Chains A and B, each alone.
Chain A
């Protein structure tokens, strides 16, 4: 034990600006997304998934004409599947691993912690999409070597649709995580509830009639494909309110009021 262990200065309690600056909170929460073993495994799975999709497409369509958009849309699938899991864990692990005891001592204003978590997940989603864009370009390069005719045309609607869906799924993951505070439970519900919803819309005619308005899995398809025409946006907003906003409200309330122990 060294002398520096115990050199408390005179009381430094200042009631000026409470908590810590948001920038430091962002740095902490961004780091926390990737510094655990589980998160590293997920990142490796995402990279492997994207690589596999690209390699398979280049091989299967050997020498055939290739579209950059097709690579983009396919590579996005493993990302869209696994990024929400990271979003779920950022909300749940504070409670399952009980790190909330530390996190809320660093920054007692829990609402700001939640914002930092949400924004870091969004940043990661956007960076993930940029990485997918780069890897798709690389795959196109390889396809070119195989003699494929290359179509580099990209519609802005495809890119914005994919980005919107990635952010929406991350938001949904975090909302479920905040509402349930248990990784396994949140994961199961995140992946099972949409199926249950589809089943219900088949079983119950009334729900079937309003399916586009309440079933996020249905209303997400056109948006993800960059089709914003007709009622697509209205359907998306309505079902997002049910599948994202509602669990998020429950989750924020729970997180702000739950006793950290």
Chain B
């Protein structure tokens, strides 16, 4: 279990993390979402003890990582696939880890096979690897010590579709057998596909966190029908909003059951109906982070002091969803 408690981190005048608190539970995959520069990687580095928080603390199983015996056998990390020596072979890079963690040499072969790197590939220098191969090597390094906690920063970057599918299964199996997974990704659909819990960060603040299903509830419904015009009219007549979606579907604030009933009453044939469909998390994501995203584009004039205060006010005035989920976060 990973717990982050009131972590604040500043780089010079820039506030990277502002009183961030969240938890990743064992047996669940926790997706960590946020736009670039939101503080995802910084938070992950602080959890791993690679970066110091100005205040607050991050714990693994209730203990700071620096006090854990043989930490790499408890926490497997992949924070940057590029963080391997280009002049070392893939095999040697893992072997170093095996010596440090005191796991048998056979585990190196086993892990490399698991991530799908062939013996021929592992004898090559990492400098000659593609991004996808580096990711696989990085994942092998994270799994090497058979840890109980996985912390992965953008692990599907550069993986091919079969690699992405494999990764998804791996993380699910890992969580199912009691492991804790914290996974960041800018690929919203990836998070939606694999995460049980979601933590959304924007501008260094946690703007939402909780169970994925709960977060997505109340999001819009996507519907398709043989007669789209008729469905549009029926929905509006029933007092709901309806607008054309990106893929020729209709986006409405009515629930799936309501859309179904309205269609039934109006004798409209529905061909597709989904809640939390492909775009749902994306909508939620942009909705929750739009305040911090706007901030990002408009630099505060006249120094950082007022800027930081202004940001605070901005966040506080966020949507009701934000306030609600923030409250949940504080109660934990």
Contacts and interface: CB of A to CB of B under 8 A. Distances in A.
Nearest to B169: A1
Contact of B77 (A12, A27, A105): A105
Contacts of B87: 36-39, 97
Contacts of B83: 97-102
A36 B93 CA distance: 10
A105 B178 CA distance: 22
A27 to B, nearest CB: 5
B71 A7 contact: no
A27 B99 contact: yes
A4 B86 CA distance: 28
A93 B85 contact: yes
Contact of B92 (A35, A108, A259): A35
B68 A261 contact: no
B146 A8 contact: yes
Contacts of B113: 2
Contacts of A99: 83-85
Contacts of A261: 41, 45, 50-51, 79-80
B15 to A, nearest CB: 16
Contacts of B129: none
Nearest to B127: A37
B174 interface: yes
A38 B148 CA distance: 36
A44 interface: no
A155 interface: no
A37 B45 CA distance: 29
Given A1-B170, A99-B83, A261-B80, A15 B72 contact: no
Contacts of A254: none
A25 interface: yes
Interface in B135-187: 141, 143, 146-149, 166, 169-170, 173-174, 176-179
Interface stretch (A16-24, A47-55, A225-233): A16-24
B110 A15 contact: no
B43 interface: no
A260 interface: yes
A99 B146 CA distance: 20
- Most central of A1, A4, A6, A11 by chain B CB within 10 Å: A6
B71 A105 contact: yes
Contact of B49 (A4, A14, A104): A104
Given A5-B170, A261-B80, A101 B63 contact: no
B101 interface: yes
A6 B173 contact: yes
A36 B96 CA distance: 12
B61 interface: yes
Interface in B108-127: 110, 113-114, 125
A6 B101 contact: no
A106 interface: yes
A259 B42 CA distance: 10
Contact of A108 (B65, B93, B102): B65
A20 B146 contact: no
A38 B147 CA distance: 32
B73 A259 contact: no
A25 to B, nearest CB: 7
A8 B71 contact: no
B317 interface: no
B174 A102 contact: no
Interface string B44-70: 010011111000000011110111111
Interface string A109-126: 100000000000000000
Contacts of B141: 102
A217 interface: no
Given A15-B68, A108-B49, A20 B102 contact: yes
A11 B77 contact: no
Contacts of A12: 73-74, 148
Contacts of B1: 11
Nearest to B89: A35
B37 interface: no
A108 B46 CA distance: 12
8 contacts: A2-B110, A4-B114, A6-B174, A14-B69, A97-B84, A97-B87, A99-B85, A101-B79
Interface of B: 1, 26, 41, 45, 48-52, 60-63, 65-75, 77, 79-80, 82-88, 92-93, 95-97, 99-102, 110, 113-114, 125, 141, 143, 146-149, 166, 169-170, 173-174, 176-179
**What 4 pairs across the A-B complex have the smallest Cβ distances?**
A13-B61, A36-B87, A8-B179, A106-B100
